[in-house]
C-alpha cells in the first residue's frame, strides 16, 4: 500500500513537473524536469521543491554546496566527487546542486561559515551549459540585485571554482573565468585557485586532481577543518525487492521515466524524456571495407518534435551486451543480474540517477557509462575493496601515482571492467558496494550529432551522418568500440535484414526494455543550435567540413537547392570537403551532383584528398589556394562555417582565414586575426565543432 501512495505522489509530481515545463517553471517553485523531480521526491525530499538554496542547506544541515554546470556529465561527476571527498576527508556536510534548480538572488544571505563550490563546464563558443544559462545571466548581469541590497553584496560568500574547458576553442574556460570574476566583483571570496581542466590537451582528470588537493588545504585552513582518515560511506542503499520480478509492471527495465514505463510517452521530448523514434532508413556511406559511416533517417512525424537546419540530434545509446556481461561478471553480479532492487538515497540531497525499482542488468545496460576511461581517483576509492592485499597495494599505487597510472593504464583503452580484470589478475571484485559504481561512474550520456538534413526539405525526418568508432588497440585482440556509434551500426544492420546483428562481435538489446524499441527504434531528442544559414538565400556561404564535418552542410546544401527550385536567387555556395580517398570515403558525392542540377554554378565542392598522393592535402590548404575568391566573398558579407574536428582542423582554418583576410585587405596578420574575431562576434563566422 505504501508503494501505491508513493506512485501516486510520483505521478502527481510528474504532472506538476510537466505543467511547470509548459509554463517555463514560473508558476511554482518546482523544476521543469519531470524526471529529476520524480527521483528527488522518491528519495525523500518533499514535493514542490524549493528553489531557495540557503533554506535547503539550513533544512538539511549542509555547510557546503557544490553547484554544477554540466553538458556531458563530467562536471556533474566532478561535483559528486567533491561532495563525497569533502564529507569523507573533512567531515563537511556536502550537497550537490544542479545550477538550474535554484535561484541566486539570495546568495548574499549565505553565511560565512558555509562554502559554495562551482564546477562549471564551458560549452561551444564560450557558452554556459544548458543548465547554467540562467545562473550565468544572473551573476554576470549588469544589474544583478540581491535580497538585502547591501554593498558589496556577496561579502560573506566563500567560494571555490573549477572549470572544464578545451583549449582548442577560442573562449577557453570562459565560464569559470567569468563567473570567478563576477563573484569577486560582487565581493565574494575565492578559496584556493580557480582550477581549469583542459579536455583539448587530454588532461582534464589530472588537472582536476592537481587542483583539488591545494584547494582542500586552503579550504581546511579557512574553515578550520580537520582532515581524517577517509572511510568510504555509501550514498545509496540497495534494497532487494524479493516480492517483485522483472515482469512486475512497476519494475523499470531501462525505461527512462514513468511515462515510458506506463505506455507511450508524451512530449515534451527533451534531454530528460527521449522520443522512441522509428528509423525510417539507414545505409553505409563508405566504400572502404575497414571503416564505417552510417547515414540514418530518424522519423519524428509521430512526435511533436521539430528541428531547424543546423540543429543537433541526441541519440540515447545502450551499452553492448558483452560489456554489460563483463562488468556484471567481474563484480560478481552476473547471477543476480535480474534481481529486482530499489536504490534509495541515504541522504535527502542525493539523487538516484535512474528510476527504480529496477534490475542490475537494466542499470548497467541503460544508465551507467561503463565503457568510459577509468578515473585515477576512482581507482583510489576502489582500492579498499580489492580482492587481496597485493591487488590492494597495486590499486593504491595506481590511485596515487600519476605517472604509474598513465604508464600502466594509458595505452590499453581499459573501461572499468577491463581495468578490474587486469589489476585483479582475473579475480572477482565482490567486495565493492554497488553504490560505489552509481557514485563513481558517469550516467550514460546521450551523444549529439549535427543534423545532416534540411528542415525545409524534410521537416519530419532527421538525417544523421555518423562515423563508427572502432580502432585496433596494440596488444589486444578485440578492437575498441565507441558506445553510440556501434549501437547505431547494429541498428543499421538489423534494418538492412540481419536478424542478429553483431558489429565487431558486439550485440545489443536492440528491442529495448519490454520490446519497446522493436521494429527498429532509437531514443532521441533534439537540441537547438545557433549554427544557421543566413535568412537571405542570396548571401554567399563558405563551408569547411571535412569528414563527418560535412554533416550540417549536406543539410545546408539540400536547403539551398530547394530554395533555388522554389525560385529564389541563391548566392554562391562553396563547400570545402576533405577525406582520405575519393573512392573510399567521399560522403554524399553522387548526391551533391544532384544538388548541382538545381544550384548550377553557384554550388562548388572543393575537395582535398589526404591519401591520394604522397603529399597530404587538407581542406585548409585548399582554402589557402582559393584566397582571392574567399577574400572577395567575405567582403560581400559571405557567411563562413566550420564543422568537425575541433582539435586541429578548426584551429588551422581559423589561422588560414586570418591570413587570407590580412592578404586581401593589405593588413597585418594580427589584424587579420582580429577581423576573424569580429566575424565570430557578429555570427559571420560560425563553428560546429567537437
Ligand atoms: P564513445 O564511446 O563516446 O568514445 C568516444 C571517444 O572517447 C573514443 O574515441 C576515445 O577516444 C574515448 N574513449 C572512450 N572510452 C574510452 C576508454 N575506455 N579508454 C580510452 N578512451 C576512451 N559525430 C559524428 O560522427 N557525426 C556528427 O555529425 C557529429 N556531430 C557532433 C556534434 C556535436 C555538437 C558534438 C558534441 C559531437 C558530435 N559528434 C558527431 C561526435 C559524437 O557525439 C560522438 O562523440 C561520437 O560519435 C563517438 O561516440 P561513441 O559513443 O561511439 O564513442
Residue nearest to atom 40 of ligand 1 (CA): 449
Q: 315-356: per-residue pLDDT in tens?
A: 999 999 999 999 999 999 999 999 999 999 998 889 999 999
- For atom 24 of ligand 1, which residue has the closest CA? 466
At 436 the pLDDT is: 97
Give first-to-last CA distance, the chain, whole Å. Answer: 50
Which residues lie with the beta carbon below 6 Å from any ligand 1 atom?
312, 371-373, 413-415, 447-450, 465-467, 469, 482-485, 548, 551, 690
- Which of the pair, 127 or 33, is modelled with greater confidence? 127
CA atoms of 241 and 342, how far apart (whole Å): 7
Are 319 and 371 in contact by the 8 Å Cβ rule? The answer is yes
Q: What confidence tens digit (pLDDT) does each residue in 466-478 have?
A: 999 999 999 888 9
Give me the mean pLDDT over the 659-685 stretch: 96
| The predicted structure's pLDDT at residue 143 | 85
* pLDDT at residue 120 tops 80: yes
pLDDT above 60: residue 381: yes
pLDDT of 34: 35
For the CA of 549, the nearest atom of ligand 1: 28
Does the annotation mark 639 as catalytic?
Answer: no
299 given a catalytic annotation:
no
pLDDT of residue 229: 87
pLDDT (0 to 100) of residue 263:
87
List 563's β-bridge partners, or say none: none
Cβ distance 208 to 201 under 8 Å? no
Cβ contact 153:138 at 8 Å: no
SS3 685: strand
Q: What is the pLDDT of residue 13?
A: 53
* Contact (Cβ atoms closer than 8 angstroms) between residue 412 and residue 475: yes
Report how far ligand 1's centroid is from the alpha carbon of 373 (Å). 13
Cite the DSSP H helix spans in 449-550.
Answer: 483-495
Q: What is the pLDDT of residue 262?
A: 94
> Does the pLDDT at position 45 exceed 60?
no
Atom of ligand 1 at shortest range from CA of 452: 28
* Strand 127-128, strand 115-123: pairing: antiparallel
> Whose CA is closest to atom 53 on ligand 1?
482
State residue 5's pLDDT score: 52
Atom of ligand 1 lying closest to residue 293 CA:
25
Rounded to whole angstroms, how far apart are CA atoms 663 and 136?
Answer: 39
What is Dmax (Cα atoms) for the chain? 80
643 is catalytic: yes
pLDDT band at 151 (very low <50, low <70, confident <90, very high): confident
Residue 37: pLDDT over 80: no
Ligand 1: centre distance to CA 690 (Å): 9
- Other Cβ atoms closer than 10 A to 49: 20
Asked if 235 and 439 count as a contact pair (C-beta separation under 8 A), the reply is yes
pLDDT band at residue 210 using 50, 70 and 90 as cut-offs? very high
Nearest CA to ligand 1 atom 20: 413
Residue 319 has what pLDDT? 98
**Residue 302's Cα: distance from chain center in Å?**
26
Among 22-31, 222-231, 298-307, which range has the highest average pLDDT?
Answer: 298-307
Neighbours of 63 (CB within 10 A): 18
Specify the pLDDT at position 4.
52
- pLDDT above 70: percentage of residues in the chain: 93
Distances in Å between the alpha carbon of 103 and those of 49, 113, 492?
12, 20, 45
Q: Which ranges in 401-530 belong to alpha helices (H)? A: 402-409, 416-423, 434-440, 483-495
The Cα 72–Cα 665 span in angstroms is 41
- Give CA–CA dist 136/182, Å, rounded: 9
Find the catalytic residue in 198, 361, 585, 688: 688
User: What is residue 538's predicted lDDT score, i.e. its pLDDT?
Assistant: 98
Ligand 1: atom nearest CA of 548 is 26
Is 450 annotated in the active site?
Answer: yes
Q: By alpha-carbon position, which residue is closest to atom 26 of ligand 1?
A: 466
How far does CA 37 lie from the centroid of its chain? 21
Tell me the percentage of the chain whose pLDDT exceeds 90.
86
Separation of CA 451 and ligand 1 centre (Å): 15
State the Cα–Cα distance between residues 255 and 601, nearest whole angstrom.
Answer: 50
Residue 27 has pLDDT above 80, yes or no: no
Question: Among residues 64, 579, 639, 643, which one is catalytic?
Answer: 643
Three-state secondary structure string covering 50-90: CCCHHHHHHHCCCCEEEEEECCCCHHHHHHHHHHHHHHHHH
Per-residue pLDDT reduced to its tens digit, 183-195: 999 999 999 999 9
Q: Strands of 312-356 (E only): list them.
A: 312-315, 340-345
pLDDT exceeds 80 at position 266: yes
Own/partner long-range contacts of 388-391 (Cβ < 8 Å, ≥24 apart): 388/427, 391/423, 391/424, 391/425, 391/427
pLDDT of residue 149: 75
pLDDT for residue 12: 53
Task: State yes or no: pLDDT of 28 exceeds 50.
Answer: no
Q: What is the pLDDT of residues 95-119, one digit of tens each?
A: 999 999 999 999 999 999 999 999 9
* Ligand 1 atom closest to the CA of 72, numbered from 1: 36
Cα atoms in the Cβ-side hemisphere of radius 13 Å centred on 503: 28
Residue 1 has pLDDT above 50, yes or no: no
pLDDT in tens, 490-530: 999 999 999 999 999 999 999 999 999 999 999 999 999 99
pLDDT higher than 70, residue 9: no
Q: What is the structure's pLDDT at 21?
A: 43
Of residues 212 and 32, the one with the higher pLDDT is: 212
Which pLDDT value is given to residue 125?
79
CA of 30 to the centre of ligand 1 (A): 34
Residue 30 phi, psi (nearest 5): -115, 160
pLDDT mean across residues, the chain: 92
- Neighbour order of strands in the sheet with 358-359: 236-240, 340-345, 358-359
**How far are the Cα atoms of 8, 41, 117, 547 from residue 22, in angstroms, in the given order?**
21, 20, 31, 39
Q: Which of 180-184, 231-235, 338-342, 389-393 has the lowest mean pLDDT?
A: 231-235
* Most ligand 1 atoms within 8 A of CB, residue of 315, 447, 470, 489 to mutate: 447
pLDDT in tens, 155-164: 999 999 999 9
Whether 427 shows a pLDDT value over 60: the answer reads yes
3-state helix, strand, coil in the chain (%, to 5): 40, 20, 40
Q: What is the structure's pLDDT at 172?
A: 93
Please report the DSSP string for 404-423 in residue order.
Answer: HHHHHHGGGT--HHHHHHHH
Alpha carbon of 338 to ligand 1 centroid (Å): 30
Structure ipTM: 0.99
The answer to whether residues 523 and 276 touch, using CB atoms and an 8 Å cutoff, is yes
Provide mean pLDDT across the span 126-149.
92
- Among candidate residues 195, 193, 191, the one with its CA nearest the CA of residue 221: 191
What's the confidence (pLDDT) of residue 2? 45
Instruction: Name the residue with cell 562548388.
Output: 604
Residue 318 Cα to ligand 1 middle (Å): 14
Catalytic residue, from 282, 435, 450, 470: name it: 450
Question: Which atom of ligand 1 is the closest one to the Cα of 485?
Answer: 52
Pocket test for ligand 1, best of 414, 418, 690 (most atoms within 8 A of CB): 690
pLDDT tens digits, one per residue of 547-592: 999 999 999 999 999 999 999 999 999 999 999 999 999 999 999 9
Crossing angle of the two packed helices 649-665 and 627-635, in degrees rounded to 10: 80
Amino acid at each position: 500500500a505504501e508503494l501505491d501512495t508513493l506512485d501516486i505522489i510520483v505521478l502527481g509530481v510528474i504532472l506538476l513537473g510537466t505543467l511547470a515545463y509548459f509554463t517555463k517553471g514560473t508558476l511554482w517553485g518546482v523544476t521543469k524536469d519531470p524526471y529529476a523531480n520524480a527521483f528527488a521526491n522518491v528519495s525523500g525530499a518533499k514535493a514542490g521543491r524549493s528553489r531557495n538554496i540557503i533554506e535547503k542547506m539550513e533544512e538539511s544541515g549542509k555547510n557546503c554546496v557544490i553547484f554544477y554546470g554540466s553538458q556531458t556529465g563530467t562536471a556533474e561527476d566532478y561535483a559528486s566527487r567533491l561532495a563525497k571527498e569533502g564529507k569523507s576527508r573533512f567531515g563537511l556536510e556536502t550537497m550537490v546542486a544542479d545550477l538550474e534548480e535554484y535561484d541566486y538572488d539570495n546568495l548574499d544571505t549565505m553565511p560565512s561559515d558555509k562554502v559554495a563550490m562551482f564546477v562549471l563546464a564551458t560549452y561551444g563558443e564560450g557558452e554556459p551549459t544548458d543548465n547554467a544559462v540562467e545562473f550565468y545571466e544572473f551573476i554576470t548581469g549588469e544589474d544583478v540585485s540581491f535580497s538585502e541590497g547591501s554593498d558589496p553584496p556577496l561579502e560573506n560568500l566563500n567560494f571555490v571554482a573549477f572549470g572544464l574547458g578545451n583549449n582548442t576553442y577560442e573562449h577557453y574556460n570562459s565560464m569559470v573565468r567569468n563567473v570567478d570574476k563576477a563573484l569577486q566583483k560582487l565581493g565574494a571570496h575565492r578559496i584556493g585557485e580557480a582550477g581549469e581542466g583542459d579536455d583539448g590537451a587530454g588532461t582534464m582528470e589530472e588537472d582536476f586532481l592537481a587542483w583539488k588537493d591545494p584547494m582542500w588545504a586552503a579550504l581546511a585552513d579557512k574553515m578550520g577543518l580537520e582532515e581524517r582518515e577517509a572511510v568510504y560511506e555509501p550514498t545509496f542503499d540497495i534494497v532487494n525487492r524479493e516480492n517483485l520480478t522483472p515482469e512486475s509492471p512497476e519494475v523499470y527495465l531501462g525505461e527512462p521515466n514513468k511515462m515510458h514505463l506506463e505506455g507511450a510517452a508524451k512530449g515534451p521530448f527533451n534531454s530528460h524524456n527521449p522520443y522512441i523514434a522509428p528509423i525510417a532508413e539507414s545505409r553505409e556511406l563508405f566504400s572502404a571495407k575497414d571503416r564505417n559511416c552510417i547515414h540514418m533517417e530518424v522519423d519524428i512525424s509521430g512526435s511533436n518534435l521539430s528541428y531547424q537546419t543546423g540543429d543537433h540530434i541526441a541519440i540515447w545509446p545502450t551499452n553492448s551486451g558483452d560489456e554489460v556481461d563483463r562488468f556484471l561478471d567481474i563484480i560478481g553480479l552476473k547471477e543476480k543480474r535480474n534481481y529486482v532492487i530499489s536504490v534509495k538515497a541515504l541522504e535527502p540531497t542525493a539523487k538516484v540517477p535512474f528510476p527504480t525499482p529496477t534490475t542490475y542488468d537494466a542499470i548497467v545496460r541503460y544508465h551507467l557509462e561503463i565503457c568510459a576511461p577509468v578515473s585515477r581517483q576512482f581507482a583510489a576509492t576502489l582500492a579498499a575493496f580489492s580482492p587481496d592485499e597485493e591487488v590492494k597495494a597495486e590499486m593504491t599505487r595506481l590511485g596515487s601515482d600519476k605517472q604509474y597510472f598513465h604508464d600502466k593504464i594509458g595505452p590499453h583503452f581499459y573501461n572499468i571492467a577491463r581495468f578490474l580484470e587486469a589489476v585483479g589478475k582475473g579475480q572477482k571484485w565482490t567486495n565493492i558496494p554497488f553504490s560505489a559504481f552509481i557514485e563513481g561512474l558517469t550516467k550514460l550520456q546521450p551523444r549529439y550529432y549535427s543534423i545532416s538534413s534540411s528542415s525545409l526539405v524534410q521537416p519530419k525526418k532527421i538525417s544523421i551522418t555518423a562515423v563508427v568508432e572502432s580502432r585496433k588497440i596494440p596488444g589486444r585482440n578485440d578492437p575498441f568500440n565507441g558506445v553510440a556509434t556501434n549501437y547505431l551500426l547494429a541498428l543499421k544492420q538489423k534494418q538492412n535484414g540481419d536478424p542478429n546483428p553483431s558489429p565487431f562481435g558486439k550485440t545489443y538489446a536492440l528491442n529495448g526494455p519490454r520490446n519497446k524499441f522493436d521494429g527498429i527504434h532509437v531514443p532521441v531528442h533534439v537540441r537547438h543550435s545557433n549554427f544557421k544559414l543566413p535568412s537571405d538565400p542570396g548571401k554567399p556561404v563558405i563551408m569547411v567540413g571535412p569528414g563527418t564535418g560535412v554533416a550540417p552542410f549536406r543539410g545546408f546544401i539540400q536547403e539551398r537547392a530547394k530554395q533555388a527550385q522554389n525560385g529564389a536567387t541563391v548566392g554562391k555556395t562553396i563547400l570545402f570537403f576533405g577525406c582520405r580517398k575519393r573512392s573510399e570515403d567521399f560522403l554524399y558525392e553522387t548526391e551533391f551532383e544532384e544538388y548541382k542540377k538545381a544550384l548550377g554554378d553557384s554550388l562548388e565542392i572543393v575537395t582535398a584528398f589526404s591519401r591520394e598522393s604522397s603529399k597530404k592535402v587538407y581542406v585548409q590548404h585548399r582554402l589557402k589556394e582559393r584566397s582571392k575568391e574567399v577574400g572577395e566573398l567575405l567582403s560581400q558579407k559571405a557567411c563562413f562555417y566550420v564543422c568537425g574536428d575541433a582539435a586541429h582542423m578548426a584551429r588551422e582554418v581559423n589561422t588560414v582565414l586570418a591570413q587570407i583576410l590580412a592578404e586581401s585587405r593589405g593588413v597585418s596578420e594580427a589584424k587579420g586575426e582580429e577581423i576573424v574575431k569580429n566575424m565570430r562576434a557578429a555570427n559571420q563566422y560560425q563553428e560546429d565543432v567537437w
